[in-house]
Structure formats: structure tokens, C-alpha cells
């Protein structure tokens, strides 16, 4: 018995030791044979381990260089996980010396006839891509990837920018079995650490002493040169962050950017103090960052260029007196003339003059051009720096905190936001990508201020219907649907280029059982008015006949049947993008020979000040009339209010699924 116990203890210790030995090249048959992740069996892939280290290297020629080494091993379970065999790492090239990156030890492992087969990455699987004049990317595509493969690689990023410490994410969209990140910073550099997400890693801190030998040369009076070797020693602060068994991040419905909630550590360089030198503070405020951007050649200098548009500006504003007229004309001119190339940026790539000539530009070129034209027309316009929803929310000022720019017209206490990159945008109707909390307006004299980017008023969707239900339960009627503000913008954006036939097919598929007649019409060309749809229809799916009774949904095919908020608890805010109101006015004529036996009771459900659902149904014996409204008054609902929101939707959906009962006379 004692022998068995000691054997078990030994095996346990040995197993733990093996489990904690994370080293490239030591892929096991057990890893290759694993058919599914033990905790998340539906996961298409999993990160078996990821290990990173950021430290400062020193050379006599260049001084300190920031180095980040990353090693990673990934298991591919399913074809849906093949994308994890590709890796892209961005690096900065906007200033010399530039950052540099290289990949190494990139291997795909497969289990073939019980043996481990290795396939190394060759040069044709590695690519360099220039994104713009500031950024480039190195990409790899791993070879011979199959279901069951294990891939691993290492990459090293060298940066002369000592404050450019990459964020380390402990979580991903797939499970992460083990994640370890180590920082080793010399005593001369002071960093502030920021965390985001809901799961914290384990943190340990130690210190090391490093010694560097360097040589100096001195020229003597006899023109000879003498060389002296010196020794430099300094302390290093070593911090180790460790996380195990990190669950995958599910990109749930109504989440703006899941990366805002991923467990992440960030580092901000706040000060430098070399020996026998005063401390140099590097703490940057948002105001400082905005001014630096404004003063750059690819931003502020581009705003001052005007000659390229002056003749066109005179023509499009000819005869106009009010600034409102001029602003509308200029905005529409830039929208119609310019074509966005799809690149986000707050700096110009080719410049506003070339973009104007070619009629193509990035976000900065188009919206800085718009700002300059408005200013030339005597309108108080300024650029607004934005971090798009994809870029996330920055916790401290840094080079990548913003990645986009729009335009703002200031008048008295109001701000009107404009974005000419989108043909369907309107004043204060920005593309959804730009609706990300707050931006920063930069004024001509150098000051800056926070600007709220989020819509404050509800965008409406108003449905009016008159229909008749026959003794077979078939519904026939006419419908008018009006889309206002953001609802109109989204309609125009989504269905631009759709043929009538394609759109109607999509609409009939969305409302299963709906058949739309040939009289379908839509009015959407006048952007100053709502989009209006009207059509006749038939529908066979809203009623059920049992015996001498007809049961039907008074919300007809607009009734929502499933609660989008199912989980008991939610850690992320619920993002509706913009406040909205759905209003329904539905009149249904009853079939001859039938009377109303019962109708749903009126109700009103509130979500504090954030929402309201009202439902009122009446009958005069020949008709059933329903008036209902769903109001979501806040674009973002806190996770603290998630339970109330879930219950609000449950009550609303339960009511929408109550039926009118008709009884045959």
C-alpha cells in the first residue's frame, strides 16, 4: 500500500512537472491525439500555451532597445480553427529607426500512423505587407495544417520606442490553457501598469542585477587611440504575470468590441532617469497627445492647404448667405465627390491635394478636407479624433489611442458631427464604426476638449398596418414602415445596391411566411426625410385553428419569440448602438361569423429610465386594434442592470406571444 501511495505521489509530481514545462519543440503525442478541448469541447482550437517576455537590450551604438519575445503553441481541433494557423503582427515604420520583427521556430506537427510528423515553415509562407506610411505587418501561414494539428512559432519584435510595450492578452476567442508574461525593466525606466477585463492573472515581482561591459576610446596627443573597458551594472524590476485555464471570450450579442473586456495588462512609460541625470517625465495628457497630432505634418499642415478646392468652393456656395446652407452644400459636395478607400487613420497618407484630385482618400484625407473647406467658407469647424469601435477604448494617451477623425461644427453650445466618408451619413448621423463613447475635438488655437459621440435621441421605426384575417387564418393587408435617423441610415447602408427582387426575397425570408405583392414601393432617396416602405401582403403563419376557434398573434409577424438575453449573468455592457423606439399601430379586421372570446390584457413594463414597453389592445367586435411601443432610451446598459434588462425583455416577449382568441358564432 505504501509503495502504491508513493508511486501515485511520484507520478502526480512528475505529471505536474511535465504540465508546467512549456517549451517549443516538445509537442507530445497526447496533445496531437486530443480530439476536443477538455473544458470547451466545441472550441475549434485552443492555445495550449503562450509565453511572452519584454525586456530592454543594450548596445554601445544604439543604447537601450525594447525587445518582446513571444512563443505560442496552438491545437487545431476543427476546420473552423484553421484561421489560427495564420498570424499577423503589426510594427511601426513611421519613424527611423523603425521597428523590426522576425518569426522563427515555426512548425506544424501532425500524428501520422502513430508517429509525430514535423513540417517547418518555409519562406513562401511568410509575407511582409505595408499597411500605410506608418505601419507594416509581418504575416505567416503555417503549412500542412489539418484537423488535429498542433502548430507553434516564435516571433521577436525589436523597437527603438521604449514606451511601446505591446499589450498582453491572457484571453482569446478560444480557450487559453496557460499564459505567462514577464517584464524586465531596468531601474532607469518607470512604468505604470493598467489592467482591463474581469479575470486577473497571478502576479509575482522580483529583482535582478544586470551587468553590461562597454568600451570607450580616447585619442591621445600623439594621435594614438586607447581603448578602455568599463562595466555598467543596474537593477531590473522583474514582474511575472501568470494565468491558467482562461475561458474563451464569447462575442455575445450587443457587445461593441469584445477586446474591451479581455483580460489584458498594459504598460505606460511615465518617466526616465539615467544615472547622474535629472528625471524626465513622459506622462502625456490627452491634451498633449491631441496637440502633438495637430502639430504633425500629416494632420495640422494638411488642414492649412486650401488652394486645391477654392474654385469649387466658390461655385458650390454661390448665392448662399447662411452658414447652415453653406455647410450642407459643402458636406454633400465632399460626400458625393470623395470615395473612402476603407482605411482608418487620423493622419493623411498621400495628402488632401492628391486625394481631392484622385477623388479617393482615407478617413483623415476626406474629413480634414471637409474641415478645411468649411473653415474657408467662414464656418467654425474643427477635427475630432476618434477611436473606432474596432480599435476599442484606450486607458491612457498613446500613439494608437485614436485611429480615425471626423469633423465638428461648433455653434454656441451645440456641436454637429460630420463624416463624409459615408455616402449615407448625415449631420449627427455618423457611421456606426465611429460611435465609440467619446472623441476629442482639436481647435485651431491648440486647445482640445472631450466630445460625446453617442446619439442622445431615439431613432424611430414606425409601423402602421391595416389587415384582415379570414376564416382559414390567412392574413391579408397593407403595411407602411417608416425608418427615421439611424434606422434610415442603416437601411440605406445595408441595402444599397440590392435589386428589388433580392431585397424582397430577404424580407420574406426574415418574416417567414410573408408574401409581398407587386405594389411594393420604397422612398429613400431624399436623405432629409425618413425611408418609407409600403406594400400589400399575405401571411399564413400567424394563426392556428383548433375546433371552432382561431388563435392569432395581434403583433402578427413582428412578434419576437426568443429572448436575446438568456444567460443568468453578464459581465459586459449591453450595447444597442443608439437609443431607439419601435412603434406599432395594427388594425385587424375579423372574419364574418366570428367574435372575440379573449384578448391580451394591456400592460406597461419599465426599465427605470432606460426603457419602456407599452402594449394596449382593444376590440369593437369587428376589429382588433393594437398600439404598442418599445423604447430603449440608452445606447449602453450597464452589466449591473443586466438582470433587469433580461426580465424586461422576457415580460415584453411573453406579452407579444399572447394571442387573441376568436370563437365561431
Residue 359 scores a pLDDT above 70: yes
Question: For 565-589, how does the pLDDT look when each residue is reduced to its tens digit (9 = 90+)?
Answer: 988 888 889 999 999 999 999 999 9
Rounded CA-CA distance 194/394 in Å is 11
Rounded CA-CA distance 504/251 in Å is 30
Question: For 433-487, how does the pLDDT look when each residue is reduced to its tens digit (9 = 90+)?
Answer: 999 999 999 998 778 999 999 999 999 999 999 999 999 999 999 999 999 999 9
Question: For 130-178, how does the pLDDT look when each residue is reduced to its tens digit (9 = 90+)?
Answer: 987 788 999 999 999 999 999 999 999 999 999 989 999 999 999 999 9
The band of 29, judged by pLDDT with boundaries at 50, 70 and 90, is very high
Residue keyed to cell 486625394: 355
Sign of CA dihedral 273, 278, 279, 285: negative
Q: What angle do CA 367, 373, 374 make, to 5 degrees?
A: 90
Question: For 279-303, how does the pLDDT look when each residue is reduced to its tens digit (9 = 90+)?
Answer: 998 878 999 999 989 999 999 999 9
Give, to the nearest 10 degrees, the angle between helix 323-337 and helix 363-376.
Answer: 150
Question: For 183-198, how does the pLDDT look when each residue is reduced to its tens digit (9 = 90+)?
Answer: 999 999 999 999 988 8
pLDDT score, position 225? 67
Residue 308 scores a pLDDT above 70: yes
Output the average pLDDT for the chain: 92
The band of 418, judged by pLDDT with boundaries at 50, 70 and 90, is very high
Burial 523-554 (b: 16+ CB within 10 A, else e): ebeebeebbbbebebebebbbeeeeeebbbbb
Q: Is 154 helix (H, G, I), strand (E, B) or coil?
A: strand
Residue of 558, 548, 541, 585 whose CA lies nearest to 661? 548
pLDDT score, position 224? 64
Instruction: Please say whether the beta carbons of 575 and 619 come within 8 A.
Output: no
Domains in the chain, ordered, with CATH? Answer: 2-280 (2.60.40.3140), 286-452 (3.10.620.30), 459-664 (2.60.120.1130)
Stretch 32-52: mean pLDDT = 97
Amino acid at each position: 500500500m505504501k509503495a502504491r501511495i508513493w508511486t501515485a505521489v511520484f507520478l502526480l509530481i512528475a505529471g505536474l512537472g511535465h504540465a508546467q514545462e512549456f517549451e517549443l519543440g516538445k509537442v507530445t503525442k497526447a496533445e496531437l491525439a486530443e480530439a476536443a478541448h477538455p473544458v470547451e469541447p466545441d472550441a475549434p482550437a485552443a492555445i495550449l500555451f503562450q509565453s511572452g517576455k519584454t525586456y530592454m537590450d543594450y548596445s554601445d551604438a544604439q543604447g537601450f532597445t525594447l525587445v518582446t519575445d513571444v512563443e505560442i503553441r496552438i491545437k487545431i481541433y476543427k476546420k473552423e480553427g484553421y484561421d489560427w494557423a495564420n498570424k499577423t503582427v503589426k510594427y511601426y515604420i513611421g519613424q527611423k529607426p523603425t521597428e523590426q520583427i522576425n518569426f522563427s521556430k515555426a512548425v506544424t506537427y501532425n500524428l501520422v500512423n502513430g508517429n509525430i510528423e514535423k513540417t517547418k515553415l518555409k519562406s513562401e509562407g511568410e509575407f511582409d505587407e505595408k499597411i500605410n506610411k506608418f505601419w507594416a505587418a509581418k504575416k505567416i501561414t503555417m503549412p500542412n495544417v489539418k484537423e488535429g494539428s498542433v502548430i507553434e512559432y516564435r516571433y521577436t519584435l525589436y523597437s527603438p520606442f521604449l514606451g511601446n510595450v505591446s499589450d498582453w492578452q491572457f484571453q482569446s476567442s478560444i480557450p487559453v490553457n496557460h499564459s505567462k508574461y514577464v517584464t524586465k525593466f531596468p531601474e532607469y525606466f518607470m512604468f505604470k501598469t493598467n489592467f482591463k477585463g474581469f479575470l486577473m492573472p497571478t502576479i509575482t515581482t522580483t529583482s535582478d542585477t544586470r551587468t553590461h561591459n562597454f568600451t570607450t576610446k580616447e585619442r591621445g596627443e600623439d594621435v594614438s587611440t586607447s581603448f578602455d573597458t568599463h562595466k555598467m551594472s543596474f537593477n531590473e524590476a522583474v514582474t511575472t504575470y501568470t494565468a491558467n485555464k482562461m475561458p474563451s471570450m464569447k462575442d455575445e450579442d450587443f457587445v461593441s468590441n469584445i477586446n474591451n473586456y479581455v483580460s489584458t495588462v498594459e504598460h505606460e512609460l511615465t518617466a526616465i532617469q539615467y544615472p547622474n541625470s535629472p528625471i524626465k517625465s513622459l506622462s502625456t495628457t490627452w491634451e498633449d497627445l491631441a496637440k502633438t497630432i495637430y502639430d504633425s505634418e500629416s494632420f495640422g499642415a494638411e488642414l492649412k492647404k486650401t488652394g486645391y478646392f477654392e474654385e469649387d468652393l466658390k461655385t458650390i456656395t454661390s448665392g448662399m448667405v447662411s452658414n447652415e446652407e453653406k455647410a450642407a452644400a459643402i458636406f454633400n459636395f465632399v460626400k458625393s465627390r470623395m470615395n473612402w478607400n476603407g482605411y482608418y487613420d487620423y493622419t493623411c497618407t498621400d495628402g488632401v491635394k492628391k486625394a481631392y484630385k484622385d477623388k479617393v482618400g482615407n478617413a483623415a484625407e476626406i474629413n480634414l478636407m471637409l474641415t478645411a473647406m468649411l473653415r474657408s467658407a467662414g464656418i467654425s469647424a474643427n477635427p475630432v479624433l476618434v477611436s473606432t469601435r474596432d480599435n476599442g477604448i484606450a486607458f491612457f494617451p498613446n500613439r494608437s489611442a485614436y485611429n480615425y477623425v471626423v469633423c465638428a461644427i461648433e455653434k454656441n453650445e451645440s456641436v454637429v458631427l460630420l463624416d463624409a466618408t459615408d455616402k449615407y451619413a448625415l449631420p449627427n448621423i455618423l457611421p456606426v464604426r465611429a460611435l465609440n463613447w467619446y472623441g476629442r475635438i482639436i481647435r485651431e488655437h491648440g486647445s482640445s476638449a472631450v466630445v460625446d459621440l453617442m446619439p442622445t435621441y431615439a431613432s424611430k421605426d414606425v409601423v402602421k398596418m391595416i389587415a384582415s384575417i379570414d376564416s382559414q387564418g390567412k392574413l391579408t393587408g397593407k403595411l407602411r414602415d417608416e425608418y427615421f435617423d439611424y434606422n434610415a441610415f442603416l437601411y440605406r447602408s445595408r441595402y444599397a445596391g440590392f435589386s428589388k427582387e433580392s431585397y424582397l426575397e430577404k424580407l420574406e425570408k426574415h418574416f417567414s411566411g410573408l408574401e409581398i405583392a407587386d405594389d411594393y414601393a420604397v422612398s429613400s432617396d431624399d436623405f432629409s426625410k425618413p425611408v418609407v416602405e409600403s406594400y400589400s401582403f399575405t401571411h399564413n403563419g400567424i394563426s392556428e385553428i383548433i375546433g371552432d376557434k382561431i388563435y392569432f398573434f395581434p403583433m402578427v409577424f413582428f412578434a419576437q419569440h426568443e429572448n436575446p438575453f438568456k444567460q443568468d449573468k453578464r459581465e459586459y455592457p449591453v450595447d444597442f448602438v443608439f437609443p431607439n423606439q419601435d412603434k406599432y399601430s395594427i388594425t385587424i379586421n375579423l372574419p364574418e361569423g366570428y367574435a372575440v372570446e379573449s384578448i391580451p390584457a394591456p400592460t406597461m413594463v419599465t426599465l427605470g429610465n432606460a426603457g419602456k414597453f407599452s402594449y394596449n389592445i382593444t376590440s369593437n367586435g369587428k376589429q382588433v386594434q393594437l398600439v404598442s411601443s418599445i423604447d430603449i432610451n440608452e445606447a449602453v446598459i450597464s452589466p449591473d442592470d443586466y438582470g433587469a434588462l433580461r426580465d424586461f425583455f422576457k415580460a415584453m416577449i411573453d406579452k407579444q406571444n399572447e394571442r387573441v382568441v376568436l370563437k365561431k358564432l
